[in-house]
């Protein structure tokens, strides 16, 4: 069950409860029309039960829903990048290794995305420069809605998605953030579960002096 409260004229606070056995997490979505289109706000861990959506368009209807997502994660790989910030030279690079792509591999068995046998294998992380990593893996999933690349910076408590990729992708290059010099990474094919109820809120006038 999902509910939404207007905590200021242009700020929404969502809260939800309910079980999702076997889920990897939940997505939180919003729309400005009851039938969509829907935009994903966040991929929330199962332990998260609230979300704040701030600085909304005044005097507008907003619609919200949550739904679980499923899929087995690969083993994690640890990456340590060389020292150095993102440079102008790196900005000028074409980074041809970075765009998502599908590397065709013969003889790979696949399984429905929610089965353990759909777990990605052979995840490899290749350091391309001080702030870039290329990931490759073997895709064993069928029927997935896409892939998530997840990371856990050193000292972090849990993994969080850092990239959402199309189905069948098994190569992707990540330009990292400063706190990702040392981090663990994994990939996960995913599919969605049933949507929650739709919660509606209408914003008010923007407060004077804000925005």
* pLDDT tens string 24-61: 999 999 999 999 999 999 999 999 999 999 999 999 99
pLDDT value at 162 more than 90 = yes
Which letter does DSSP use for residue 101 in this model?
Answer: B
For residue 86, what pLDDT is reported? 67
For residue 90, what pLDDT is reported? 65
For residue 41, what pLDDT is reported? 97
Give pTM, 2 decimals.
Answer: 0.88
Stretch 10-16: mean pLDDT:
97
Stretch 60-77: mean pLDDT:
97
- The closest of 63, 51, 56 to 16, measured between CA atoms, is 51
- Calculate the average pLDDT of the chain: 93
Token duo for residue 75 = 């083993």
Q: What is the 3-state secondary structure (H, E, C) of 157-173?
A: CCCEEEEEECCCCCEEE
* pLDDT tens string 169-196: 999 999 998 888 999 999 999 999 999 9
For residue 207, what pLDDT is reported? 74
Is residue 22 left, alpha or beta, with left meaning phi > 0 and alpha meaning psi from -120 to 50? left
For residue 14, what pLDDT is reported? 98
* pLDDT tens string 77-118: 999 999 877 666 666 677 899 999 999 989 999 999 999 999
For residue 91, what pLDDT is reported? 64
Stretch 65-73: mean pLDDT:
97
Q: Residue 204 — φ and ψ, nearest 5°?
A: -105, -155
pLDDT value at 200 more than 90 = yes
Q: Which residues, in sequence order, are bridge partners of residue 125?
A: 135
């Amino acid at each position: 069950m999902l509910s939404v409260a207007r905590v200021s004229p242009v700020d929404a606070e969502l809260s939800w409860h309910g079980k999702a056995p076997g889920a990897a997490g939940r997505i939180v979505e919003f729309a400005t029309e009851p039938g969509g289109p829907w935009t994903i706000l966040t991929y929330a861990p199962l332990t998260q039960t609230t979300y704040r959506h701030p600085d909304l368009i005044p005097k507008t209807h907003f619609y919200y829903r949550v739904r679980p997502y499923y899929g087995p994660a690969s083993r994690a790989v640890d990456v340590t990048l060389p020292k150095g910030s993102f440079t102008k030279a790196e900005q000028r690079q074409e980074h041809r290794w970075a765009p998502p792509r599908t590397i065709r591999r013969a003889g790979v068995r696949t399984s429905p995305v929610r089965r353990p046998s759909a777990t990605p294998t052979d995840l490899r992380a290749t350091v391309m420069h001080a702030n870039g990593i290329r990931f490759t893996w073997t895709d064993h999933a069928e029927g997935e809605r896409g892939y998530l690349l997840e990371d856990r910076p050193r000292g972090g408590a849990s993994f969080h998605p850092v990239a959402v990729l199309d189905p069948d992708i098994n190569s992707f290059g990540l330009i990292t953030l400063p706190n990702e010099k040392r981090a663990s990474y994994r990939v996960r094919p995913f599919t969605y579960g049933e949507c929650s109820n739709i919660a509606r809120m209408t914003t008010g006038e923007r407060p004077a002096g804000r925005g």
